[in-house]
Structure 1
Amino acid sequence: MRIDWKLKSTIIIGALSVVLAGSTGSISGIEHSKMNMGGTNESSETTNAHTEKTAVLTGKEFNLVATQSNQEIAPGKSLPVWTFNNSVPGPQIRVKQGDAVKINLKNELPEPVTIHWHGVPVPNSEDGIPGVTQNAVQPGQSYTYEFKTDVPGTYWYHSHQDSVNQLDRGLYGSFIVEGNNEEKVDRDYTLMLDEWVSSGKGMSEMNMPGMDHSGMKMNSDSSSTMDNKMSSMSMGDDMSMYDLFSINGKSGSIVDQLPVKQGEKVRIRLINAGYLSHQIHLHGHEFKSIATDGQPISNPGVLKDNIINIAPGERYDIEFTANNPGQWLIEDHSDNKAASGMRAIIAYEGAPANSDKSNASEKLPAIDLTNYGQSGKKTFTLDQKYSLEYTMNLNTEMKNGNMVYTINNKTFPDTDVLIVKKGDTVKVRIVNNSKMEDHPMHLHGHFFQVLSKNGEPVQGSPIFKDTLNLKPGEEYVVAFEADNPGNWMFHCHDLHHASAGMVTELKYTDFKSDFVADPTVGNKPE
C-alpha cells in the first residue's frame, strides 16, 4: 500500500528517551569536534521534532525509534515526517574504526521498516534489505543490527523498505566511522542534503514513475515475482514538485549556522540523502576535497571557484582553513529556484552579519574526480586480467504504457544478476543510454575502483566509491574484488528509477543464506 503524506490522525509529539552505551550530544549543524568522546555512560532525551539541534550519539550500542512526527522544514512550514528518534535527519551515529556496534531498531510507524547502512561494508545479514537479508520489521516490533566498523569514512543509514517513499519522508541519518590514524580537525560538520514537497503530497499523489512492490514475494535466494503494475507517467521524470531544498532537515533562514574561529581547520561532510544532484560551492576559501564516499583521495589539490556535483547517495568530504574572517555561504548552485533554501552560513566568531552575498547564479566548473589529486597505489588497472567482466546498459523506455528504467533492457526482478564467487576480480562497464536522466548507481557491500570515464583512464588519485553518478551518454569502467559473500543489491539511487525497475543483484555462488523470507509481511526491497 502506498503511504499518504497527509496523515489523518493527530500527531502527538512526546519525549523519547535515547539510552546508549556512550556519550551523547546535540551539536549545531551536527558539529562534533568539541564533544567528549571519552565513552562515559550517559543517557539523553530528544524532546521533540522541532529541536534546533541534531543529536550526535557515540559509543557502541544505540537505540533508534522509527516514529511519526511533524517538523518545521522551512520558516513557518511544517510537514508530517517519518523519523528516527523524532528528528530529520535522525541522530548521527559516530563510532571508532574497529568497533563492534549494536543498533536496536524499534518500529513505532504504521508500516514495516528496515535500516540499510549505506556504504558500510557490513556482513550480508546486516544489510537491511527486506526479502533479501531480513524480513521487514513490523509495527510495534524491534530488530537488532550488529557489525564491526572496520573501514573509516562518511556513511549514512536509511530505510530500505519501500524506500522511494520512506526515505522521502525523512527516514535517514548520518553514520561516521572515525579512523584510528585520521588527521584531527578543529571543527567537523555534517550536512545532509534533501528535497521536499511543500504541499505535503507524497509520491503516489504526484504521478511519478514507481513500481508497486506489494505483490512481490521474496524467498531465501531473493528470487521474486511481482505484478509489474506501474504508476501513471503523465509527468515523466519531472522532479519539479520538490520545491523545498534542505540542509539537515531545514531550509532557508532556519538552517543552522556553522561557527568557526580564525585559524581553525574545518571539515565538512556532504551527504546527499535526496533524489536530485546538488552543486555545492564554498564561498571565500580555498579548500580540498579529501574523500569521496568516505574513501580518501590521494594528495588532493587546492580548489577555490569550483563546485562539487553531489548525486543521490554520494558523499564528499571537504576541508579548509578558516583564514578569511566574515560570514560566508556554502550553497547549492543548481539551476532550480528551490536551491536558494540549500545554503548555510559559515560564521566566524565576532563577524558582522550578512557580510557575504549569494552568487548561486554563477556557473562554476565542477571537480572532475578522474583528473584530481595525484596518482597513488591502485588496486586494479584497465589492462589486467579479470575473473569476470560484465556490461550494464542503463536506459529509459516505455513498456505497456508506462515509463520504466532498465538494465540491459530488463526491469527488476528480471534483470541479469552478476554472478561471482569469493576472490573473483570483477570488471563492470556501465553505460547511461538514457537521454535526459542521471543514474547514480550504488553497489551494496563493496567498494569499487573507477578505472575510466568515456574511454579515458583515470589520471589523478585512485577513486574508490560505492555510488557512481552517470550522466546521459557517459560510460564508466569500474572494478572490485568479490570479498564480501552474500546476496547484494546494485541499483540506481534515484529511487524513483529503482522502484521502476533499475535494480539488479550481485550474488555469490559460494554463499548460502540462513534467511527465510516471510511472504506475509509485505517486504518491499525498493
Structure 2
Amino acid sequence: MFLWVHYTDMVIALLAVPIAVAAGWAVMRLPASTGSGPSRMWRLLFGLLLGGAALRLVAALLLLPNGWDFAGPRLVFVAPALALVATVYAVWVRPTPGSPDGERAVATWPGDYWAAAAAVGAVLVASAAELAGTGAAAMTGVGVLGAAAVGSVWRRTRWSRRSAGRWWRTAAKGTLGVAVAAAVVAGWSTVSQLPARSSMAGGPVDLGGGSMTAHSHHGGVSVTTLTGTYTAGVPARRFTLTAQPATIRLDSGQQVQAWTFNGITPGPQLRVRQGDLVEVSLVNRLPGVGVTLHWHGVDVPNAMDGVAGVTQNAVAPGGRFVYRFRATQVGTYWYHSHEMSSVQVRRGLFGALVVLPADAPEQSDAVDETVLRHTWVDEDGVATLGVTTGVQRRLVPAGRQVRLRLVNTDGNPATFTLTGAPLRVVAIDGTDVHEPNLLKGVRILVGGGARYDLAFTMPDQPVVLRADGPTIVYSPDGNAGPGRESPPPALLDPARYGTPAATPFGAASHVDRRFTLRVDERLGFYDGRPAVRYTFNNRSFPDVPMLMVAPGDLVEVTYVNRSGQHHPMHLHGHHMLVLNRDGQATTGSPWWVDTLDVGPGETYRVAFRADNPGIWMDHCHNLEHAANGMILHLGYTGVTTPFRTGRGTANHPE
C-alpha cells in the first residue's frame, strides 16, 4: 500500500502547484471594493485546493502505521494548509447561512485578501515541501505570500482608481510573473551546480553522538598510505585488465558498442584462493575517459578501493594503476569501474571475482557457475545473463553438485527463480548462511550489486533458472527447453531464512555511534539540470554530512526509505549485520551484507564494526540515483585524502 499512497500523494502535491498559482492569480484580480465576493472560478480553485489538502491528510494518516518518519513530514505541512484553506472556504466562499438566495460573504479589505493569500501560499508550501524539499518549499511559500500581498496592495491602491487601459496592466502583470518565475528557475539551477573541485574530507560531518574532539582531518593519515599490513611479498595471482572499446554481439543479433575489460563483457572472471596476495594491473585504452577498479564487497585496504577522487585519481587514457590486496574473504564478489560508474558499468566495465577456500581442490566434478545479470540500457533495456537474452542450455549429469553464483550488476532489483530441484541458499553477499533450510524452489529478489549463492544436486530432470526474462536450463542431456513457467515459488525472506548463530554484536549491544538516514526523492535541479534528486535527510551530495567514526567503534545505522524507489545501500570496506527490518528482529541466520536493498516504505537497522580505517563511500548502488546526489561517506578520524572530485578535475566517481 505504501507505493500507492506515496505516489498518489505526490501526484496531488504536483497538481496543487498550478492550481495554487492560478488561485494566487485570482487573489490578485479580486475587486478591491467591499461589496463584491469571489468569482465562480475562484471558488472552484479553492474547492480543488481544499479537496487536495484533505486527500493528502488522509494519505498521511494512512502512513501512520509505517511510523512517524513516513507520516510526520506530511502532517506537519499538510495540516496547516488544510486548516487555512478550510477556514477561508468556510467564511468567504460558502453561502452565508440564513442569507437570502444563498448570498455569499462579502470580501473586506484587507483581512480576506491576506487570508486568501496565506491559504494559497500554505498549499504551495506543503506541495513544494513534498516535491522539492523543505528549504525550497519555505522559499516558495514566502515568495507566493509576498507576491499575493503585493499584488493585492497594488490593486487596492492603484488599479481600483482606474478602469481604462486595464489590458496592458494585465499583460504587464503576466510578464512580470513570467519573469519572476524564470528568475527563480534560473537561480535554482545555478545554485544547484556542484563545485568545480571538492574534497571528500572537507564538508560537514555527523558525529553520531560520538566525541567532538575526535574529529580532525588536519595533519592526519592520507588514504594513500592505507595499503594494508599483509600486502608485501610476491603475489600468488597476477592479472591484467585492459579497459578498451569493443563491439559486443548479443545472442539476439543486436550489437552493443561496449566498454570492456580485455575485449569482453562481462570481463574475465578472477578466481583466487583465500589468503592469496592478489595483484591486478589496470590499463586504460578507452579514448578520452578515465577508469578505475572497485572490488565490490571485498573489504580491501582503503588505498585499493578504486574510487576516483576519494582513494585515487582516475587512470587516464594510456595510464596504468596496480592494485594489491590479500583475499581474506571467501565468497562471490564482483569488480567494476568507479569513475563515471553510472555510465561505465552500464556500458560493460564489470566482471566477477570469486574467492575460493584455501583448501578447495584444484579440480572437481562439481559445477560452479557465476551468473551475472545485466541490462543494456542503450539497447532499449535488454536484459541479459552474460550476453544472452534468451535461453541458454547446460549439460549437467544427474548427481552432480551445482553451485550458482548470482550477481545483479544493475541498479534495480532483479528476480531470480529456480525450479526443478531442491536447493539451499548457501551464501549472501559472500557470507555463508548458517545451516540453510532445504527449499523445493526459490524466488529471490536480488538487489542492485548484491549476490546470492544457490546449491543443489542435479536431478534426472531439467532445472530452470529464470532472471526476469533470460533463462538457463540445466539438464542431463543438455537439450531440454524451459517448458511452461509454473506458478512461482514463495519469495525468499533472508531475515527469516537459515538458523540463528552467535554474532560478535547484536541488537542489544552498546553502540558508540548511531546514525539515521532518511531517504527521499525530490523534483528540482541537480548540478544545473532538471532532475529527480535523491536525498539523505533532505540533503544531496556534496552537502550530506560525512559519518565520522573512530577505529573500534560499534556503529549503528538506520535506513528509512520514504521514497517510491528501491535503494541498494552499499557501504565500501565493511560488512553490515542486519538487526531488524520495520522494527521486527531477524530470526534466521545472521544476515551479513555489503549491499542492502531498502525497498519503498521499509526501515532497516544495521550495525558494523569500524575496523578498516579510511574514507569510504556509502551510497545507493542504483548508480543513476548516486549520480543524482545519493552519496555520502564514512570517514575515520584523522584520515585525509589528497584527491579531489568535480568538473575541474579528472575524477567523477558516479
Q: Place the TM-score, normalised by the shorter chain, in its bin.
A: 0.7 to 0.9
Post-superposition offset of 1:259: 2.7
Post-superposition offset of 1:89: 0.3
Normalising by structure 2, we get a TM-score of 0.61
Match of residue 258 from structure 1: 394
Please tell me whether residue 327 in structure 1 is matched to residue 462 in structure 2: yes
Alignment of 1:115-154 (within 5 A): 115-154=293-332
Post-superposition offset of 1:273: 0.6
SS of 2:618's partner is: strand
Alignment of 1:292-303 (within 5 A): 292-303=428-439
Match of residue 491 from structure 2: 366
SS of 1:94's partner is: strand
CA shift in 2, pair 1:469/1:518, >3 Å: closer
Q: Deviations over 1:214-265 (max 9, x none)?
A: xxxxxxxxxxxxxxxxxxxxxxxxxxx41x1101122114x4x333111111
Match of residue 269 from structure 1: 405
Post-superposition offset of 1:351: 5.6
Q: Deviations over 1:384-407 (max 9, x none)?
A: 210000001111111345310111
Match of residue 259 from structure 2: 82
Match of residue 165 from structure 1: 343
Aligned counterparts of 2:463 and 2:431: Cα–Cα separation in 1: 27
Q: Which has the higher helix share?
A: 2
Letter in 2 for 1:194: H
Alignment of 1:217-366 (within 5 A): 241-242=380-381, 244-253=382-391, 255=392, 257-323=393-459, 325-332=460-467, 339-340=468-469, 342-348=470-476, 350=477, 352-354=479-481, 356-359=482-485, 362-366=487-491
Please tell me whether residue 384 in structure 1 is matched to residue 509 in structure 2: yes
Aligned counterparts of 2:509 and 2:444: Cα–Cα separation in 1: 31
Post-superposition offset of 1:517: 4.3
CA shift in 2, pair 1:290/1:518, >3 Å: closer
Question: Is contact 1:417–1:504 with CA below 8 Å preserved after alignment?
Answer: yes
Post-superposition offset of 1:417: 1.2
Question: Is contact 1:422–1:510 with CA below 8 Å preserved after alignment?
Answer: no
Match of residue 520 from structure 2: 395
Specify the structure having the higher radius of gyration (Cα): 2
Aligned counterparts of 2:635 and 2:451: Cα–Cα separation in 1: 26
Match of residue 72 from structure 1: 249
CA shift in 2, pair 1:397/1:517, >3 Å: closer
Post-superposition offset of 1:317: 0.4
Aligned counterparts of 1:416 and 1:389: Cα–Cα separation in 2: 14
Comparing 302-311 with 292-301, greater Cα deviation is found at 302-311
Match of residue 635 from structure 2: 507
Post-superposition offset of 1:181: 5.3
SS of 1:165's partner is: helix
Aligned counterparts of 2:323 and 2:387: Cα–Cα separation in 1: 25
Please tell me whether residue 475 in structure 1 is matched to residue 603 in structure 2: yes
Q: Deviations over 1:289-335 (max 9, x none)?
A: 00000001100001123201111100000100012x23332002xxx
Letter in 1 for 2:317: P
SS of 2:250's partner is: strand
Question: Is contact 1:404–1:411 with CA below 8 Å preserved after alignment?
Answer: yes
Question: Is contact 1:72–1:250 with CA below 8 Å preserved after alignment?
Answer: no
Match of residue 367 from structure 2: 187
Letter in 2 for 1:315: R
Matched residues, percent identical?
A: 37
Aligned counterparts of 1:181 and 1:379: Cα–Cα separation in 2: 26
Q: Deviations over 1:375-424 (max 9, x none)?
A: 00112211221000000111111134531011111001111211001000
Letter in 1 for 2:343: N
SS of 1:91's partner is: strand
Aligned counterparts of 1:59 and 1:195: Cα–Cα separation in 2: 34
Q: Which has the higher strand share?
A: 1
Question: Is contact 1:59–1:94 with CA below 8 Å preserved after alignment?
Answer: no
SS of 2:574's partner is: coil
Match of residue 85 from structure 2: none
Question: Is contact 1:134–1:517 with CA below 8 Å preserved after alignment?
Answer: no
Normalising by structure 1, we get a TM-score of 0.75
Q: Unaligned 5+ residue runs, structure 2?
A: 1-234
Question: Is contact 1:107–1:113 with CA below 8 Å preserved after alignment?
Answer: yes
Question: Is contact 2:523–2:532 with CA below 8 Å preserved after alignment?
Answer: yes
SS of 2:495's partner is: helix
Aligned counterparts of 2:521 and 2:433: Cα–Cα separation in 1: 33
Aligned counterparts of 1:482 and 1:245: Cα–Cα separation in 2: 37
Aligned counterparts of 2:274 and 2:491: Cα–Cα separation in 1: 31
Match of residue 418 from structure 1: 547
Post-superposition offset of 1:166: 0.4
Post-superposition offset of 1:466: 0.2
Question: Is contact 2:236–2:277 with CA below 8 Å preserved after alignment?
Answer: no
Q: Unaligned 5+ residue runs, structure 1?
A: 1-57, 201-240, 333-338
Letter in 2 for 1:321: T
Question: Is contact 1:117–1:157 with CA below 8 Å preserved after alignment?
Answer: yes
SS of 1:370's partner is: coil
Aligned counterparts of 2:387 and 2:241: Cα–Cα separation in 1: 18
Letter in 2 for 1:359: E
Post-superposition offset of 1:76: 1.3
How many residues matched? 412
Post-superposition offset of 1:346: 0.9
Post-superposition offset of 1:196: 1.3
Aligned counterparts of 2:462 and 2:439: Cα–Cα separation in 1: 19
Aligned counterparts of 1:480 and 1:249: Cα–Cα separation in 2: 36
Aligned counterparts of 1:374 and 1:145: Cα–Cα separation in 2: 37
